[in-house]
């Protein structure tokens, strides 16, 4: 379609004929007016007075149309702008729900559900050769790693079963289970990332070895440090993801204390905040276990 | 004689004005997120020319220690940003408006002439239909930038589930850099856009709110439109 002649170009002569299919053909652009030019429009008087009021009636002079349509449009513009301004402060000043404004929390939960559907155990975090792993692994947080009352030599993992039993598993016992190593890009919720190398037992191998079938049929798994200062909840599909590891090694060496000795969670499908260090207890639940950063306004899943 | 000429369809005006506060909210919440790991710098060799962002900037906008809030706002308003953009692109394609917006083979030369005109190097601006060449390029580019923001955003948001997408952007770190640079691009776009709107004047601005342009037709005289008689006279005169 040729479009050299424009209704907007004042220097161009008025177009001589209607171009079929041209949405802005100037001959027929009174909105909602299908009447061909020249014919007297037969409209309901009430409708006509409304059109006069808002300035779209062709019985008005051009200047009247300009004035009224400008006024009506800008009035609507400012009313809608004020409404948007009000809505913004409605959200900003709304009551808190787990550390964040209630309306935002609702949408974050919906986000979790929507993007939860994109999850597949076949979607793997990219892995790297061991040579790519950082020597100096970044240390960012020591919440739950306080020294008072903690004795590394006496540590044992406490697993709560559905039937009420508690398993107490020492680190040597875990080391005898099949070992899995991973070199992947650890991603912190703050925005930095680092390729690091970890070794341990796959969570799914761990669950299979201790026959945690009724437990892994639940919705969530909860983990906490021995002092309960740091605690997280993980949806079961992420916990059973083939790259989720209960790690006891970093860079081929036993975990340093700062990185969560003797056992920490490595879960590449989630941000670092879910990589709980110094795992003390593991329990299972159909409702979301309490989660340290969720309570401080982050989304529950923190998935990647 | 004054005449009203429709310029911007109602749908485009709505989506334009929805996008403005939503993009502002996305940039603001993005800064709350960026603060938590503010490592980007412009440097030549070891000389740092600019560090994003100076402390005074954070302070004046109250940006520090608000990562969770920033993420929450970002992951809520992203839906409006995305859906508004999607509807806009669909609308322009279906309605035919894209014909005014999409650059053609003349647009790049025309854009250059517009730039020369705007810098007062050239006296006249090239004639334009609804948008000039520079506008066509800018308004199409900013839509592509929007697509880039959505796709780099998704690559950062779910780098494991969409690992292929993250790899397409050159990895997680690169996707973040591109996401950030695109945001700087919007800020630059905004500055130029607002200056141009101010320079273009009231009639142009009103069209983005009220939808119509006012065209002043010169009073109808025989001079304006050569009749067949004039033409015949000219022929007779041997012109």
pLDDT at position A6, please?
43
Cβ distance of B209 and A74 shorter than 8 Å:
yes
Within 8 A by CB and 6+ apart from A288, the residues are: A220, A233, A294, A300
Percent of chain B with pLDDT over 90: 64
Least confident of A246-250, A252-256, B113-117, B219-223: B219-223
- Average pLDDT along chain B: 89
Q: Read off the pLDDT band of B28 (50, 70, 90).
A: very high
State yes or no: cis peptide before A202, omega within 30 of 0: no
Output helix, strand, coil percentages for chain A, rounded to the nearest 5.
30, 20, 50
pLDDT at position A285 over 70 = yes
Token digits for A20? 């079929």
Check residues A205 and A1 and name the one with the higher pLDDT: A205
Q: Read off the pLDDT band of B1 (50, 70, 90).
A: confident
Residue at token pair 């309901």? A44
* For residues B151-172, average pLDDT: 96
| B126 SS3 class | coil
Least confident of A22-31, A84-93, B45-54, B207-216: A22-31
Cβ distance of B163 and A31 shorter than 8 Å:
no
Q: Read off the pLDDT band of A29 (50, 70, 90).
A: very low
Token digits for A70? 């400008």
CB of B70 within 8 A of CB of B33? yes
- Average pLDDT along chain A: 87
Give the Cα separation of A69 and A31 in Å (integer). Answer: 13
Q: Model-level pTM?
A: 0.84
pLDDT at position A274 over 50 = yes
CATH 3.90.420.10 fits A113-285, yes or no: yes
pLDDT at position A2 over 80 = no
> How close B14 comes to chain A (CA, Å)?
10
Cβ distance of A107 and B75 shorter than 8 Å:
yes
pLDDT at position A19 over 70 = no
Distances (CA, A) of A271 to A48, A185, A189, A255, B40: 62, 10, 6, 19, 21
> How close A23 comes to chain B (CA, Å)?
7
Measured between CB atoms, which of A66, A269, A299 is closest to B2?
A66
Digit-coded pLDDT (tens) for B191-214: 999 999 999 899 999 999 999 999
B21 interfaces chain A, CB cutoff of 8 Å: yes
Distances (CA, A) of B197 to A247, B22, B207: 59, 20, 11
Contacts of B161 in chain A (CB under 8 A): 115, 118-120, 123, 269, 303-304
pLDDT at position A270 over 70 = yes
Q: Read off the pLDDT band of B129 (50, 70, 90).
A: confident
User: In a 10 Å sphere around its CB, with 0-12 CB exposed, 13-18 middle and 19+ buried, how is residue A65 labelled?
Assistant: buried
Contacts of B65 in chain A (CB under 8 A): none
| A167 SS3 class | strand
Contacts of B208 in chain A (CB under 8 A): none
| A168 SS3 class | strand
DSSP A219: S
Question: What is the sign of the dihedral through the CA atoms of A267, A271, A277 and A280?
Answer: negative
- CATH 3.90.420.10 in chain A is located at 113-285
| Chain A nearest-CA residue for B36 | A190
Contacts of B91 in chain A (CB under 8 A): none
Digit-coded pLDDT (tens) for A40-66: 556 788 888 888 888 888 888 888 889
pLDDT at position A77 over 60 = yes
pLDDT at position A15 over 50 = no
pLDDT at position B21, please?
96
Q: Read off the pLDDT band of A84 (50, 70, 90).
A: very high
CB of A284 within 8 A of CB of A218? yes
């Amino acid at each position: 379609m040729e479009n050299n002649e424009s209704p907007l170009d004042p220097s161009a002569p008025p177009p001589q004929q209607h171009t079929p299919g041209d949405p802005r053909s100037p001959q027929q652009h009174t909105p909602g007016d299908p009447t061909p030019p020249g014919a007297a429009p037969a409209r309901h008087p009430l409708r006509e007075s409304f059109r006069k009021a808002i300035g779209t009636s062709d019985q008005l002079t051009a200047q009247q149309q300009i004035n009224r349509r400008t006024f009506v449009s800008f009035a609507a513009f400012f009313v809608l702008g004020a409404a948007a301004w009000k809505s913004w402060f409605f959200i900003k000043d709304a009551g808190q729900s787990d550390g964040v404004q209630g309306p935002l929390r609702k949408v974050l939960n919906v986000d979790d559900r929507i993007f939860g559907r994109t999850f597949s155990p076949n979607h793997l975090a990219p892995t790297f050769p061991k040579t790519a792993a950082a020597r100096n692994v970044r240390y960012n947080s020591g919440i739950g790693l306080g020294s008072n009352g903690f004795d590394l030599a006496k540590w044992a993992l406490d697993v709560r079963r559905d039937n009420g039993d508690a398993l107490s598993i020492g680190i040597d016992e875990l080391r005898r289970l099949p070992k899995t190593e991973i070199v992947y890009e650890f991603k912190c919720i703050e925005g930095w990332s680092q390729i690091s190398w970890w070794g341990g037992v796959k969570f799914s191998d761990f669950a299979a070895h201790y026959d945690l079938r009724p437990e892994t049929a639940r919705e969530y798994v909860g983990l906490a440090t021995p002092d309960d200062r740091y605690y997280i909840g993980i949806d079961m599909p992420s916990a059973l993801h083939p790259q989720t590891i209960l790690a006891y090694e970093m860079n081929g060496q036993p975990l340093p204390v700062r990185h969560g000795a003797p056992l920490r969670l490595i879960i590449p499908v989630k941000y670092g905040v879910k990589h709980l260090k110094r795992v003390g207890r593991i329990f299972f639940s159909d409702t979301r276990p309490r989660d340290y950063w969720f309570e401080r306004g982050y989304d529950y899943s923190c998935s990647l | 004689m004054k005449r009203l000429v429709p310029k911007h369809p109602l749908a485009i005006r709505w989506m334009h004005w929805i996008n403005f506060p939503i993009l502002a909210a996305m940039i603001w919440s993005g800064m709350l997120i960026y603060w938590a790991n503010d490592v980007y710098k412009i440097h030549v060799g070891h000389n740092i020319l600019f560090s994003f962002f100076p402390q005074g900037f954070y302070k004046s906008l109250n940006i520090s220690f608000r990562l969770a809030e920033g993420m929450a706002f970002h992951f809520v308003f992203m839906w409006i940003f995305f859906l508004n953009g999607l509807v806009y692109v669909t609308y322009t394609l279906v309605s035919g408006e894209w014909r005014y917006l999409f650059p053609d083979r003349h647009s790049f030369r025309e854009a250059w002439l517009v730039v020369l005109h705007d810098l007062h190097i050239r006296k006249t601006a090239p004639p334009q239909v609804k948008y000039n060449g520079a506008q066509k390029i800018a308004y199409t580019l900013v839509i592509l930038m929007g697509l880039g923001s959505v796709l780099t955003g998704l690559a950062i948001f779910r780098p494991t589930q969409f690992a292929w997408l993250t790899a397409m952007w050159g990895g997680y770190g690169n996707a973040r850099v591109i996401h950030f640079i695109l945001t700087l691009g919007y800020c630059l776009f905004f500055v130029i856009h607002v200056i141009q709107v101010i320079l273009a004047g009231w009639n142009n601005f009103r069209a983005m709110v009220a939808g119509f342009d006012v065209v002043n037709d010169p009073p109808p005289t025989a001079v304006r439109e050569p009749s067949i008689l004039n033409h015949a006279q000219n022929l007779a005169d041997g012109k």
